[in-house]
Amino acid sequence: MKTFQDFGLSPELLKAVEQMGFDQPTPIQGKTIPLALEGHDVLGQAQTGTGKTVAFGIPLVEKVSLDSDEIQGLVITPTRELAMQVAGELQRLGKTKRVRILAVYGGQEIDKQIRSLKKHPHIVVGTPGRLQDHLRRRTIRLDDLRMVAIDEADEMLQMGFIEEIEAIMAQAPETRQTLLFSATMPPAIKALAEAFMIEPVHVKMKAKEETIPSIEQYYIEMQPKQKFDALCRMIETQAPGLAIIFARTKKRVDEITEGLNKRGYHAEGLHGDLSQARRTAVMGRFKQGTISILVATDVAARGLDITGVTHVYNYDIPQEAESYVHRIGRTGRAGKSGVATTFVTRREMDHLRMIEQVIRRKMARTTIPTIQDALREQQRMAVDQLVSVVNEQSVGEYASWAHRLLSEHDAVAVVAAALKLLTKEPDTTPVQIAEDGGDFFPKKKGFGRGKGGSRGGERGKGKPRRQERPASKGKPFSSNKKKGKKQSR
């Protein structure tokens, strides 16, 4: 089986891949990366969550020359959320090589983006409308562009972005290399490939197989501020043997870990900032059961093979379906069952549905346990603990005390008092966890609207809506554009 070392990557990029926790390429990565590094145009057909970002990200970063301050790579995505996600992944890939990455998208002040563009990014990730805005202003120039990656091309077709893509590609040098990815391959996408690609190699991947059937999968819709209390109540009611909580950022991992310890749980964090010695020590304590809860980022948790993990909690919804499958696969191992629960906000529901579509399985909706639910579970556990001690018949030395108590008090009251002492009532100590730190959909002023409050985040104040613009002339296959109201994200 191929490894990333087999691709002949630079030491800087190999180091970045290692830091990201990747050992072996996914199928789409294994087929796409060598072709792209050789200079071929690639037409990739693969579902979201199969590792496409790294598949085009590695060639993009590898081909950047630090001797030039011009834009050398361009990634076109249909939505601002995907633009931010892709830019984040590319930043991690380009960190050791010092490649500068910038995301531009509607809903963010264009003046702020212009200031960032003056810092000379090597690779720009953007949505079609905002990229066109910058091209018209000449704040983005594509004269030295070496590679273009078009991600989720079929979604852009459905959203009516074909004209914008045509206009952007028309300004790119003919010598550039093009990588186009789409989950489906309708005629308009094939026409786009024919118009802007040179003898592309078609790479087609099968849809991802269903996730492990022995894992029960649930989701809870809630507000961000409810997450921590919901997590604590889930732990109280489910009483996991060993549990892993996944968070998106290192800061979030630290905050959750500190909060859980304040509430009396035995938890430790695991993320990339920890030394290897510390990470090894944490994993040792978790495997031995000295700590029962591990809070981790995706990077730190890659490759974990621990038996006995009964529950996985996705405190932050993963960015890709591939990450989701990886996360929940930490439980249900060695033929055992497991439970995975994902916390989502209302605006993350579409992303959850996308993950369900890719893994071809529906998650069951559940609700946040109440304090009463948590208390009843603790009482049940106290009863089980008391019965266990009775069955062990190891209470002889306490018999005289029992006779004395029963001679002075009602038997029911004595047993109830014993259960009360054994019951750990839910702790409601206030814990501050940042609501938006690293959220998949960060809150922004005027989210979903352009500058000046107009509908459509891709347009600024005073910009006409797309349907008000004169029809494009001389554009290839414009008749293939899907009719209907265009969406701007």
pLDDT of residue 427: 67
| CATH architecture label of 208-443 | 3-Layer(aba) Sandwich (3.40)
CA-nearest of 161, 158, 116, 110 to 134 is 110
DSSP state of 212: P
List alpha helices for 298-370, DSSP H. 298-301, 321-328, 349-359
pLDDT over 50 (residue 461): no
Helix, strand, coil distribution of the chain in percent, nearest 5: 45, 15, 45
Average pLDDT over residues 171-186: 90
Encode pLDDT of 31-73 as tens digits: 999 999 999 999 998 766 578 899 999 999 999 999 999 999 9
- 467 φ/ψ angles, rounded to the nearest 5 degrees: -70, -15
Residue 273 three-state SS:
coil
**pTM for the whole structure:** 0.51
> What ranges do the domains of the chain cover?
4-204, 208-443
pLDDT over 80 (residue 199): yes
Amino acid 350 reads D
Same fold, 4-204 and 208-443: yes
pLDDT of residue 484: 42
Give residue 370's pLDDT band: very low, low, confident or very high (50, 70, 90).
confident
Encode pLDDT of 104-137 as tens digits: 998 788 999 999 999 999 999 999 999 999 999 9
78 contacts 156 by C-beta, under 8 angstroms:
yes
- Distances in whole angstroms, Cα of residue 201 to Cα of each of 9, 194, 204, 310: 21, 12, 10, 44
pLDDT over 90 (residue 230): yes
Encode pLDDT of 406-455 as tens digits: 888 888 887 778 777 776 666 667 677 766 544 444 333 333 333 333 33
Give the E-state strand segments of 239-292 in sequence order. 242-246, 267-270
Burial class (CB in 10 A: 0-12, 13-18, 19+), 364: exposed
Q: What's the whole-number average pLDDT of the chain?
A: 81
Compute the chain's Rg from CA coordinates.
27
Provide the CATH topology of domain 4-204: Rossmann fold (3.40.50)
